[in-house]
Amino acid sequence: MGFLQPLFLWGLAGISVPVIIHLFSRRRAPAYFFSTLRFLKLTRRKTIRRQKIEEIIVLVLRTILVACLSLALAEPVSRRTLLSEKDSWVVLILDDSCSMSAGVQATPWKNLQQTCGQILSSLKKGTHVSVVFSSGKLIPFSKMYEKIAQEIRTSQPTFMGNTMQKAIDRTSSILEKKQGYKRVFIITDFQKSAWENVNAENIQKTKAEITIINAGEDTQENAGIKNFYPLPGKNTYMCEVVNWGKKEITAEIKFSSDGYEITKPALILPGKNTEIEINLEKDYQQVKAELLYSDVLKQDNVFYMQKEATGQKKVLLAGSEDTSISYVQSSVTSSGTISVDVRKINEMADINLTSYRTVLMVNPQRIEAPFRRKLHDYILDGGTLVYFAGERIAPEDFNSDWFFAEEKMFIMPSKIARKTNFPKQAQITYVASGHPLFAEFGDRIFEYLKTIRFNSCFSTKDITGDILMKLDNGYPVLYEKRIGKGRIFLFTFSPQQSWTNFQKKPFFPVMINLMVEYFSGSVSTALTGDTVVIRDSETTKSVRLTSPEGKTEIIKNDSGRQITYVPDIPVIWTAEFSIRGNMQKQMFAANVPYTEGDPSKVSPNDLRTVLKKIRVNFIPKNRMEKIISAEASGGDLMMFLLRVSLFLLIAELILSNFFVSIKEKGIKSVQD
């Protein structure tokens, strides 16, 4: 006999409650004066004897009631056989995400392997067993338990993030049409981030019984590198470190590339992201950042960065056919390293945005919904949108076009209200000088801006971005907003002479080129487990993927579409393919999802909420001996105890009232 919820066994201490009530509620019978007591002595002895029997009966009923209720809530199970039905289907969902490798010896993964062995050894012969790994690996239904156990023993945690939703959906699909008794064991470390936004509707339909087993360890301290990226300016980079714990961490961060190596000390604050700026000796294309700190998860202490190759870059420019767009085009091409594709708005629908570093829009009028969605996804994935508002922009259209109802998000940095013509010319008096766009200029930036004048701009409302430039009359003229991995820059004016002379000043092309460089697709990174698109691979027959360790994979293109790849290890990958006899090379870095370092755990009550309408059993950590090896009798025993408890409660109420009524009648007859 075992118990799934042994915590409720403490309820057995409640047995003492009715005993204590019985002892403290005893009282002497009231004294009555009669002329003779000869005939009353015998009656008094009989009454006292009967009352004692009644009290003992009620006491026993109450004691047994408390005991049965506590045992029922503890969910008792038999340990004889796991399943007794003729057709039985068991699925093991194994969390093989990166967080399962935490600890000196990957303790959570060892707990998982041990648990799987105990479950498989408890199965009744003839039970069908399948294994679904959260990384996507699947072992089909089989009755060869030893072979399944061997495959689990030789498996290791992956570098991928937790995809519990995919594992649950896949389990639902393989159980959907099965007949008989169905049971699912989920063995995980209870990491909170894995269960956020999980939808269990599909597995509810299978009517499977679910048991969740905790294989994790209680860890509070961990740190990792969240991001590493270049900043505008010469050889300047930013390393973002996250500390999940509650204590300050003093450590060193090592940066290395092509034989070059430098370390920098860092104080990492508890529970926060800490940004550390670093200057390298030159502009490296590949850099490895490593947090030199011993904590429970080593994999998230390393981050790989791959910059796009230097040389000619493309940007996409679209908008009205007037002088404003020519000013922007000439500003972009002034650097000599950036080429511009100029398109009309109605030509944008079929454009592949991933081949462009930045998308610039100058007074573009209205944009069709499908292309707005493409822009939205492009920005989320790391692209940059630079938007100039002009005469063709209608505020009501602008404000509705850039609101995405599905995400309930307005992606622009602010809404626009109306064009305002100033009674006198305004000039720039505020610049976010600490921003990477302007940091290298320092206080000298106002020397560049002092001759710039504005005649008009749009007023704004509902600001959700950062103000980077403001006029002396209080009107902001430049906003920035971060969306996903990308950025949006919103200018509230048009680069035309009637609006401003900014576009004719030397600082204008400098600023535009800095924007093109700033976070605009210059870094090619992905997460292990994410889908990476190999750009311009539609017409190639195959792509050869290679890691620095020599791992090679050939992906054939049979569909005539862009080839995709899911990196499984954190390194810098190289994709090579041929187009019309010309060899193409694309490099991208893959990194462990930083959320795998989060030690926060989800509670059983939270999981019950996620898996609503499903009866869920929980096996606590280090209680693997209490894995259910029970037939349906385990649940039947619990229900039996609950029924007994209900019967005892009713019996106690009836007898208590019956005994009270007898006692009142006896007192009344004596008084008469």
* Fold type of domain 223-308: Immunoglobulin-like (2.60.40)
> Which of 422-431, 505-514, 639-648: highest mean pLDDT?
422-431
Segment 104-119, tens digit of pLDDT: 777 899 999 999 998 9
Give the pLDDT mean for 422-436: 90
- Name which of 67-71, 243-247, 450-454 the model is least confident about: 67-71
Residue 496 or 620, more confident: 496
CATH of domain 313-517: 3.40.50.880
* Distance separating alpha carbons of residues 390 and 328, to the nearest angstrom: 13
Q: Which residues contact 244 (CB under 8 A, 6 or more apart)?
A: 221, 222, 223, 224, 271, 597, 598, 599, 600
pLDDT at 260 over 50: yes
In DSSP notation, 316-336 reads: EEEE-SSHHHHHHHHHHHTTS
Spell out the residues 6+ positions from residue 326 whose beta carbon is closer than 8 angstroms to its own: none
What is the pLDDT averaged over residues 242-247? 92
Residue 628 pLDDT: 46
How large is the angle between the packed helices 107-122 and 145-154, nearest 10 degrees?
A: 180
Would you say residue 627 has pLDDT above 60? no
As a whole number of angstroms, the distance between CA 27 and CA 95 comes to 62
User: Residue 310 above 70 pLDDT?
Assistant: no
* 526-589 fold: Immunoglobulin-like (2.60.40)
Residue 334: what pLDDT? Answer: 82
Q: What is the mean pLDDT of the chain?
A: 83
Query: What pLDDT does 630 receive?
Result: 42
What's the Cα-to-Cα distance from 135 to each of 161, 174, 303, rounded to whole Å?
8, 17, 21
For residues 13-21, give the mean pLDDT.
Answer: 73
Choose from 34-43, 573-582, 641-650 the range with maximum mean pLDDT. Answer: 573-582
The pLDDT assigned to 399 comes to: 93
Please report the pLDDT score of residue 622 as a whole number. 58
Output the pLDDT for position 30: 58
pLDDT in tens, 181-229: 899 999 999 999 888 888 888 888 888 889 999 998 877 789 999 999 8
**Residue ranges matching CATH 3.40.50.410 in the chain:** 88-218+602-629
Q: What would the mean pLDDT of 295-307 be, rounded to a whole number? A: 91
Q: Which residue has the higher pLDDT, 235 or 252?
A: 252
Split at pLDDT 50, 70, 90, the class of 483 is confident
pLDDT of 643 strictly over 90: no
Indicate the pLDDT class of residue 36, thresholds 50, 70 and 90: low
Report phi then psi at 136, rounded to 5: 115, -15
Indicate whether 664 pLDDT > 70.
no
Task: Report pLDDT for 518.
Answer: 61
Q: Please compute the mean of the pLDDT values over residues 643-671 and round it to a whole number.
A: 73
- Overall pTM > 0.75: no
Residue 38 — very low, low, confident or very high, per pLDDT cuts 50/70/90? low
Q: Give the chain's count of helices (H) and strands (E).
A: 13, 34
Per residue in 522-564, pLDDT tens? 577 889 988 888 877 888 889 999 988 888 999 998 887 888 8
| Radius of gyration of the chain measured on its C-alpha atoms | 36
Give residue 425's pLDDT.
Answer: 95
| 613 has a pLDDT exceeding 80 | no
The whole-angstrom distance between residue 632's C-alpha and the CA centroid of its chain comes to 35
User: Where in the sequence of the chain do the CATH 2.60.40.10 domains occur?
Assistant: 223-308
Residue-level pLDDT at 671: 53
pLDDT score of 357: 78
**Residues forming CATH 3.40.50.880 domain(s) in the chain:** 313-517
Residue 12: helix, strand or coil by DSSP?
Answer: helix
Is the pLDDT at 573 greater than 60? The verdict is yes
Residues 363-391: pLDDT tens digits? 888 888 888 888 898 888 778 899 999 98
Q: Give the C-alpha separation, 93 to 357, whole Å.
A: 41
Question: Of 511, 434, 516, nearest to 477 (Cα)?
Answer: 511
The per-residue pLDDT for 492 is 96
User: Does 312 or 325 have the greater pLDDT score?
Assistant: 325
Examine the pLDDT at 453 and tell me if it is beyond 70. Answer: yes
Superfamily grouping for domain 88-218+602-629: von Willebrand factor, type A domain (3.40.50.410)
Of the candidates 496, 165, 515, 592, which has an alpha carbon nearest to the alpha carbon of residue 357? 515
Lookup: tokens for 421:
């013509």
Exposed / middle / buried, residue 435 (Cβ in 10 Å: 0-12, 13-18, 19+): middle
